[in-house]
Structure 1
Amino acid sequence: MAEAITIARPYASAVFAIAQEKGELKAWSDLLMVLAQCVEQPEMQSIITSPAVSDEQAVSVLADIARDLMTADAKNFLLLLAENNRLLSLSDVTVLFEELRAEAEKSMTAEVISARELTAEQAANISAALKQRLGRDVTLNTSIDESLLGGAIIRAGDLVIDGSALGKLNRLANAIN
């Protein structure tokens, strides 16, 4: 995993620089998401790795799938990846690109796992508190885990806040022992 990210990092940095220079961060983000989903499919992986398929043909298939999202810069980027046998690294490139984009846009996504569904007011309060604490716009991804009994666990980057009833009970049990 670490090696794959290391390989993908220069490509992500390069494509991010192009996207930022042209003010096309959202467009590149959309394109990379589509391409990453494509290369994760076993059928596409067999096309990419087949010795009978040229780099240009593999890129052409990806370009056809991406249709309106594909630009000349994007096609050149894909050709560069293909020439260096890195098309299968598109998923890692996409993850790194999204991290760079979030950093540039001062935004992030936080995961909130709660015992019950959050109300709109609760979600807004959590988002506002995280924005104040982290200095970034925060988008929440919420999920429900009834085993928490009550409260919530919030994960935002390296920050983890366990305000669940289960977490409090576990901390109490550890303090007693």
Structure 2
Amino acid sequence: MIENEVARKYGQAVFELAQEEGELEQVAEDLKMLRETVSEVRDFKNLLYHPRINDEKKKEVFLDIVGDEISDITRDFCQLLIDKRRIRFLHHIVRDFEKRHNQAEKILEVELSSAIELPEELENRIRVRLSDITGYNIELETEVDEDIIGGFQITVGDRIIDGSIQGELEKIQKQLEQIPVSKLGVE
């Protein structure tokens, strides 16, 4: 897919530049803020992504809205994306950058789903335990999912650690489905 190729190319370029200039953390914050702004402000997104609005107008509005809040590297990078007509891939590029940044800084993004909101103390214990196991700093994103019934699910990348009651019930159901009917005494 073109967005993956564009994201990899531009994500790597801005990552390497930020790293060389010693502004990796600043650029990471800038790009995260930009992605959130574009996602939340529909008019801003529509302006940046609209194919018929000329590049100079896009850059002018871009600078008016976020120009003072971001570093020179981020500002110049986004203007390049506008010039190259790649600004519509901003979300994908930021995601690629974040993966590179997290790997360089040994940060692991983990999603924790539970049936109820967990106490902060328990979240911290889970964070510390996962950090001990993985050797990474854990960035924990929590959510309440009442379908879990009890327990929790941890998602790291494409792996899921299922410690939920719902998960256990599904395992039992699969086991029961595999038992031949004749063994259950039903004819």
Same fold (TM over 0.5): yes
**Cα drift, residue 166 of structure 1:** 0.9
CA contact 2:31–2:74 (8 Å) conserved in 1: no
Name the counterpart of 1:21: 20
Q: Following the alignment from structure 2 to structure 1, what is the Cα–Cα distance between the partners of residues 47 and 109? A: 34
The answer as to 2:11 corresponding to 1:12 is yes
- Output the TM-score relative to the length of structure 1: 0.87
Unaligned runs of 5+ in 1: none
What is the CA–CA distance in structure 1 between the aligned matches of 2:156 and 2:21, rounded to whole Å?
A: 29
1:95-147 residue CA offsets vs partner (Å, 9 max, x unmatched): 11111111111012211111122122321221122112222111211111222
Deviation for aligned residue 1:57: 2.8
Other structure's SS at 1:140 match: strand
Please say if residues 30 and 69 of structure 1, whose CA atoms lie closer than 8 Å, have aligned partners that are also in contact. Answer: no
- Using the TM superposition, give the Cα deviation of residue 3 of structure 1 relative to its aligned residue in structure 2, in angstroms: 2.7
Aligned partners of 2:27 and 2:71 also within 8 Å: no
Would the aligned equivalents of 2:154 and 2:161 in 1 still touch at CA under 8 Å?
yes
Q: 8 Å contact 1:59–1:75 — kept in the other structure?
A: no
Which consecutive residues of structure 2, in runs of 5 or more, have no partner in the other structure? Answer: 178-187
Q: Find out whether 1:61 has 2:61 as its counterpart.
A: yes
Letter in 2 for 1:27: Q
Question: Is the Cα–Cα contact under 8 Å of residues 38 and 62 in structure 1 kept in the other structure?
Answer: no
8 Å contact kept, 2:15–2:24: yes
Aligned residues: 175
Residue 33 (structure 2) aligns with: 34
Between structure 1 and structure 2, the one with the greater Rg is 2
Identify the range of structure 1 (143-152 vs 162-171) with the bigger mean alpha-carbon deviation: 143-152
Cα root mean square deviation, aligned: 2.0
Alpha-carbon distance in structure 2 between the residues aligned to 1:72 and 1:144: 39
| Secondary structure of the corresponding residue to residue 68 of structure 1 | coil
